Structure formats: structure tokens, C-alpha cells
């Protein structure tokens, strides 16, 4: 398959928190001069925490990738405003009929920030680097994405420079999602010269807790529109425009990622004029900010919030009965849940993937709100009135797919109680909550979700249901096999039809309830006239438009 070039227009996220910075400066003067009081090209973005690593190959968290997308580029990018892949450093590619070989034709005249050339040899250096990670560098805590998508499933990747601007990449087995997966920052191209000079692969620490190299902290070197300047730990990361960038430069000359803390602190910083924008706006803040002339942008939903059923629950073994799972599904009014508790723009879900993902099944079996039928099914299953059901939910956390878990828990609890179920609430702080849901069987029904990393069904369904897990607690070899076969389909179009069938298989099995596709919001000062909102957070700031 050949793809013509077009100009470029996210469970393993690390949760970092840090104290809110002090709010200073004159609001009006800073808005006139640029966020933070610098020149008119300065752009200050408030973030909840600082990066884990500035080497994207050793990162899996959103704040690291937010910075990486400014410094680095991959062979494959993302179409503006969508989750679909498109050419970036590769102008086009050919795929063999068996889905094993990809020949990339590279963009000419591109240089890394250290002045060295981007060419096929550099491409193969990066692929070889990922494949040859050893020690702490090969641990899931470091190279998570290469491990998850390639190393851990026995998929070997080799690369050969077949010309100065042509690289041939061969897979040991087909991977239908290979091209969209290359849009991840983890697979961005990095300067071989800088990687070697600063010994980027020599991570310290242990497999469980690797420590970053000098390269990952002070010398990240890519081909992107911005170069790294400094990292003030706990406070900010600063970048500036790359003078020899091959593409469009835009209005922004300097970027500061300023640690603002939680959404409340970020809102206060925006109102004070010390930042130009921030992400994950609390739904309760949207109206107030709009009334005060701040700009609100919403990402198209590329998320899923779900209620999972642990079929191996120590406390509620009845969840293994499909009649009970269906009854719980019918008891939930998802329309009311979305309209009453989730941000504007949120879509009601009937599958565990958003509608924009290839493989979405328009004809899937659905379970509309029917509390009377829910009571009948519970009675058929021998569940007595007042049956106590453990319901787990996290506290003091806001995620793109779950902005207000306490409110969502309360709404669903009331719906379950309406059909005769007594809810046994179990709340935990975020880290403890994830450990409890994913590390054992001591949980019942529970709230969790996912923000997609790239546009491929495996990135949703494979993550949730690809194998036996503590979270869901079921053994379904038929489903596991179907997902594995779809993932390794040689023809991506054939994989789409397979995933459509899998979505129906999941709907009939009822492992949980897909509740909603929340739409995360961002807020900006009036000086930000346009922001390149992306459902997968692929937002590069050379495309930000600022007022004169």
C-alpha cells in the first residue's frame, strides 16, 4: 500500500504530582507581552507534573510525551484533529502483501538539532537501538512501549538502509497496527550521534526502578520544531524554536512547560496570567472560564470510561453468572450518567472502543436501560433483594476518561440500588487503587478507563481483554485467540472485519459496561487564537496561533 505525503497540521501512565507554584505578575501586562511576561512568541503551558524522561523511548507518561512531541518526530505522524496516521519524516511507504516488510521513503533535507543528517542510517540506528536494549533499559519500567508491542510478544524487527533516503523494515510476524503504532512518541527518531555521545542506553538503577541518563535529562536531540533549553526540576521545562527546522515555524518562539499542580492551581495560574493554557479542565470550571473570556477547547473523544466486572471476585462470585452481568448492565442509565455527571461533548458508549476507531461495529448488541428486566434477571439468577455488591472507585484523582470518579460512583450506585442491590463502597487513593484492581482478586465491580495511544483496535481491546487478568477475572480462550489473530492479520482491512466480530463477541459476553467516551477540555488565555487540538494529544506548538 502507498500513502502520499501530507503536511502535518496518549495503562501505564505515570502519575506525577508536585506542589503548585506561586502565582505572580501583573495579569494585563503579561497577557499583552506573552505568557510569563516574555516576548510575544513565548507560550507557557501549565502541566500537572514534570516529565519522567526526555528520552521518549524510556517514557510512557503523558507529561513526558507532551514535551517529546515538540522536540522529536517519527516516521509516522497523526492527521490534524484526528487519531489517524499520516506520513511525517517518511513521505510514503510500501507494505508487502504478507504484511512483513515496510519500505519507507524519507523526507529530504531534514537535520537533527545537533546538525547531523536524518537519513536511512539514522532510522535503522533507532530501530536497532530499541531491539538491542539490555539491563534496566529493557525493563517494562523503561522501554514500556517497545516491550509491550514488540519484545514481549516475540515480534522481532530488523531494519536495513537500502538507500540514503530509503529504509526497509522487516517484522518476524505481521502486526496490523504497525503503522499507527509508529506515531507514538516512544518511536520517534533521535540523533545517533547524541545517543552515543551521552550514552543514552546506559540506564542506572534496577529493573524495577531504572534511573535516567544524562541524555534523557539534559541532551534530548530530535528533528522537531523546538530544541531543548533547560529543565528546572519541579518547576519547568524550557524549549526554543529550531532555526533549521524543515517545516513550518509558526508564532511560538519559546515554550515553557510550567508545573502548576492540580486543575484548581492551573485555573488560578491561567486567571492570574502566569500561563497561557492548561489541560484537563474540571467540568465545573468550564462555564466560569468561558464567562471570563477564556478560550475552551475540547478534544474529540478518544477515551473509554467503563464499569468492569471481576468474575473472579472473592466477595461477589455471582459476577461469573452472565444473567447477573446483564442485569447490572440494564440497570445503568448511561444517557442520564453522561448528561448529569460528565463533561460537555462526552458520548454515550456501547462498545469498549470509540466510534472513530477502525473495527467499531455499528450493529453490535446493546443493552438499553431497563430496570424492570434487570430485576427479573437478578431474580432468575437467585439474587435476593438487598444483595450486597462490592463497588470500588478511586478518590482524589482526575483522568481524561474519568474526570470525577466520586460523582460517577454515586450516580451508578443509586441506579443499582433502584433494582434492589445494596452497594458496598470501597474507595482507595489512585496508586493503591490500581494495585488493588490489577494485582489481585479483592475487588468487585469497579470504575476504570483508557485514553487511546494511537488508532488501532488492539490498543483498546487487546489491552483490556487480550489475556487472563486480575482486573476482569475471566478465562475466555476463544476471545483471547480471536484478538491475537486480528492483531497479526497481514491485511489491516481484514483486521477491521475481525475486530467488528470481536466487538459483538465482547458485547454478548458482557465483561463489563462501556459507559462513556469523555471529552477532555483545555483552557487558554484570549491571546491564544488557535490551538491544534488532537484526540491523542499530538499537539505540536509550532501550529499554535497567537494574537499580535
The answer to whether the beta carbons of residues 378 and 324 sit under 8 Å apart is yes
Average pLDDT on 55-77 reads 95
Residue with more model confidence, 307 or 13: 307
> Does 71 have pLDDT greater than 90?
yes
Burial level of 488, CB count in 10 A (0-12/13-18/19+)?
middle
Rounded Cα–Cα distance for residues 306 and 401 (Å) = 9
Average pLDDT on 268-278 reads 97
Express each pLDDT in 221-264 by its tens digit: 999 999 999 999 999 999 999 999 999 999 999 999 999 888 88
So what's the pLDDT on residue 35?
54
From the list 65, 127, 58, the residue with the least C-alpha distance to 90 is 127
Express each pLDDT in 135-177 by its tens digit: 999 998 899 999 999 998 999 999 999 999 999 999 999 999 9
- Give Rg (Cα) of the chain: 24
Rounded Cα–Cα distance for residues 60 and 52 (Å) = 8
So what's the pLDDT on residue 545?
97
> Does 292 have pLDDT greater than 70?
yes
So what's the pLDDT on residue 13?
33
Q: Domains for the chain: give ranges and CATH numbers.
A: 27-298+521-546 (3.40.190.10), 303-517 (3.10.105.10)
Burial level of 387, CB count in 10 A (0-12/13-18/19+)?
middle
From the list 299, 70, 105, 75, the residue with the least C-alpha distance to 181 is 75
Cβ contacts of 317 within 8 Å, gap of 6 or more: none
So what's the pLDDT on residue 12?
32
% of the chain with per-residue pLDDT over 90: 83
Task: Look up the pTM and report it.
Answer: 0.85
Average pLDDT on 355-372 reads 96
The C-alpha torsion from 367 through 372 and 378 to 379, rounded to 10°, is -150
> Does 19 have pLDDT greater than 60?
no
Amino acid at each position: 500500500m502507498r500513502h502520499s505525503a501530507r503536511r502535518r497540521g496518549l495503562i501505564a501512565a505515570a502519575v506525577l504530582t508536585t506542589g503548585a507554584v506561586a502565582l505572580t505578575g501583573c495579569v494585563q501586562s503579561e497577557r499583552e507581552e506573552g505568557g510569563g511576561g516574555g516576548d510575544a512568541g513565548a507560550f507557557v503551558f501549565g502541566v500537572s507534573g514534570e516529565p519522567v524522561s526526555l528520552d521518549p523511548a524510556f517514557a510512557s507518561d503523558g507529561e513526558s510525551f507532551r514535551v517529546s512531541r515538540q522536540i522529536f518526530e517519527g516516521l509516522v505522524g497523526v492527521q490534524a484533529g484526528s487519531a489517524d496516521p499520516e506520513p511525517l519524516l517518511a513521505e510514503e511507504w510500501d507494505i508487502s502483501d504478507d504484511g512483513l516488510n515496510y519500505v519507507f521513503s524519507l523526507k529530504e533535507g531534514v537535520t537533527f538539532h545537533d546538525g547531523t543528517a536524518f537519513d536511512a542510517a539514522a532510522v535503522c540506528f533507532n530501530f536497532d537501538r530499541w531491539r538491542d536494549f539490555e539491563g534496566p533499559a529493557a525493563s517494562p519500567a523503561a522501554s514500556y512501549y517497545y516491550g509491550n508491542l514488540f519484545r514481549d510478544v516475540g515480534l522481532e524487527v530488523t531494519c536495513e538502509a537500502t538507500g540514503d533516503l530509503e529504509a526497509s523494515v522487516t517484522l518476524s510476524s505481521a502486526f496490523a497496527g504497525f503503522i499507527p503504532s509508529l506515531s507514538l512518541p516512544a518511536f520517534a527518531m533521535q540523533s545517533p550521534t547524541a545517543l552515543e555521545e551521552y550514552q543514552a542506553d546506559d540506564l542506572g538503577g534496577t529493573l524495577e526502578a531504572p534511573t535516567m541518563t544524562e541524555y534523557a535529562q539534559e541532551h534530548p536531540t530530535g528533528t522537531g520544531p523546538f530544541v531543548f533549553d533547560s529543565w528546572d526540576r519541579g518547576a519547568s521545562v524550557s524549549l526554543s524554536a529550531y532555526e533549521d527546522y524543515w517545516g513550518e515555524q509558526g508564532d511560538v518562539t519559546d515554550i515553557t512547560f510550567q508545573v502548576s499542580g492540580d486543575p484548581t492551581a492551573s485555573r488560578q495560574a491561567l486567571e492570574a496570567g502566569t500561563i497561557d493554557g492548561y489541560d484537563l479542565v474540571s467540568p465545573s470550571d468550564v462555564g466560569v472560564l468561558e464567562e471570563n473570556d477564556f478560550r475552551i477547547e475540547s478534544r474529540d473523544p478518544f477515551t473509554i470510561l467503563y464499569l468492569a466486572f471481576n468474575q473472579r471476585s472473592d466477595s461477589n462470585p455471582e459476577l461469573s453468572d452472565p444473567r447477573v452481568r446483564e442485569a447490572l448492565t440494564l440497570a445503568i442509565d448511561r444517557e442520564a450518567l453522561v448528561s448529569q455527571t460528565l463533561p460537555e461533548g462526552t458520548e454515550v458508549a456501547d462498545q469498549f472502543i470509540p466510534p472513530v476507531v477502525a473495527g467499531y461495529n455499528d450493529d453490535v448488541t446493546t443493552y438499553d436501560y431497563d430496570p424492570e428486566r434487570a430485576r427479573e434477571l437478578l431474580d432468575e439468577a437467585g439474587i435476593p433483594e438487598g444483595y450486597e455488591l462490592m463497588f470500588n472507585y478511586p478518590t482524589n484523582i482526575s483522568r481524561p476518561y474519568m474526570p470525577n470518579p466520586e460523582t460517577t460512583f454515586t450516580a451508578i450506585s443509586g441506579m443499582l440500588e433502584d433494582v434492589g442491590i445494596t452497594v458496598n463502597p470501597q474507595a482507595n487513593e489512585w496508586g493503591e487503587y490500581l494495585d488493588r484492581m490489577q494485582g489481585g482478586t479483592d475487588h468487585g465491580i469497579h470504575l476504570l478507563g483508557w485514553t487511546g495511544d494511537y488508532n488501532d483496535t488492539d490498543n483498546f481491546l487487546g489491552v483490556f481483554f487480550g489475556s487472563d487478568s486480575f482486573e476482569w477475572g475471566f478465562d475466555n480462550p476463544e476471545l483471547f485467540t480471536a484478538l491475537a489473530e486480528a492483531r497479526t492479520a497481514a491485511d489491516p482491512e481484514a483486521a477491521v472485519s475481525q475486530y467488528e466480530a470481536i466487538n459483538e463477541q465482547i458485547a454478548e459476553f458482557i465483561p463489563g459496561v462501556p459507559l462513556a467516551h469523555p471529552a477532555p477540555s483545555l483552557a487558554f488565555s484570549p491571546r491564544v487564537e488557535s490551538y491544534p487540538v488532537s484526540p491523542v494529544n499530538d499537539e505540536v506548538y509550532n501550529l499554535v496561533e497567537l494574537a499580535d
